[in-house]
Amino acid sequence: MSSFFSPQVKACLIKEWRVEARSRQGLFVSALFGFMALAAVNFSTMISVPLPGLAAGLLAVILIFVATVAVPRIFLAEDEQGTFDLVRQWGASGPVFLGKALFGAIFQGAAGFILGLFYSGMIGVPVVNWPLFLVMSTLLGIASSNVLCLTSTMVMTASNRWVLASVVGLPLLFPLIFLGIGGLKVSFGDGGMEGAYQSIAALVGYAVVPLGLGPMVAQSLWTERRDPGQKPGLPQNKDRL
């Protein structure tokens, strides 16, 4: 069972951090896409200020799509650059997944926090509960990232993997929009705290489940030596040769 505190997870997290610090590709993509989405929403709500429910929904959609653009890269670029085989030899699948997922969660949590702050200033709907608003924005980013890490693991060696990561991930992200609206609209002054607490609890659950499932998926899909679909005695790794 992989743990978040294992040295392998920490090493993988540091490796991801250094790769990002070197190229800043994820940062640029997330920031550009996020701010363009904010500008587009601001442009479309110029004439009339949206109601709290709609304002909450728009922010949830922005955060989810920013994650869809930024997170799969953590996994897919690794395979395309040809460095994934080395990573897989260096560490066990579970900790590698958790290291990458942790990096994605930190990155998207920060993106959610920052984009939420900018959104609150641009949308024109006053935030009445700031702690709830910031917690929801950050949690939405983290939960989206964890779900996308799981689906990216599944599509890593598929054809059209970049498109497929979004196609497979988005249906799983739809419930986050409901949950995001449920919590964020309370922070905009619509509804009671009971609903907000339920949304937070559900979001935490949605963020944790992929972390439990992910190492098992990675172990099953990234380990070329054990292929349940193949009969004993057949050549292994034949598609890679």
Partner 1 sequence: MKQISHLLLGVAVAGMLIFTFLVPDAQLFMEPSLARILFTHVPCAFLSSIFIVSSAFFAGSFVRKGTDVAAAKMHASIELGTIFAALTMATGILFSKIQWGAWWHNDPRQISFLIVLFFYAALMALRGAYNDRGRMDRSTAWLSISLVLPAIFLMFVFPRLKFVEQKSFHPTRTIPEGQLDFAYSFGLWGTLVVLGWLALVIFSLRKRVELAERALDDNYGHDETGSRGSTADGVVRPVAVSKKD
Choice from 155, 184, 196, 211 touching partner 1 (CB under 8 A) = 155
Least distance in angstroms from the C-beta of 86 to partner 1: 20
Q: Is 221 in the site for partner 1 (CB under 8 A)?
A: yes
- Helix residue spans in 71-192 (DSSP H): 72-81, 84-90, 93-123, 130-155, 161-187
Least distance in angstroms from the C-beta of 205 to partner 1: 10
Choice from 151, 152, 187, 199 touching partner 1 (CB under 8 A) = 151
What mask of x and - would describe binding to partner 1 in positions 158 to 177, judged by CB under 8 A? Answer: xxxx--x--xx-xxx-xx--
What whole-number distance in Å separates Cα of residue 99 and Cα of residue 13? 5
Within 13 A of 135's CA, how many CA atoms are on the CB side? 17
For helices 93-123 and 25-44, give the axis angle rounded to 10 degrees: 30
Token pair listed for 119:
């959104």
Q: Is 217 in the site for partner 1 (CB under 8 A)?
A: yes
Choice from 21, 228, 233, 241 touching partner 1 (CB under 8 A) = 228
What whole-number distance in Å separates Cα of residue 176 and Cα of residue 181? 8
What whole-number distance in Å separates Cα of residue 140 and Cα of residue 150? 16
User: Quick one: 135 or 154, whose CB is closer to partner 1?
Assistant: 154
Token pair listed for 152:
């990216």
Residues that bind partner 1 (CB under 8 A): 150-151, 154-155, 157-161, 164, 167-168, 170-172, 174-175, 209-210, 213, 216-217, 220-221, 227-231, 234, 239
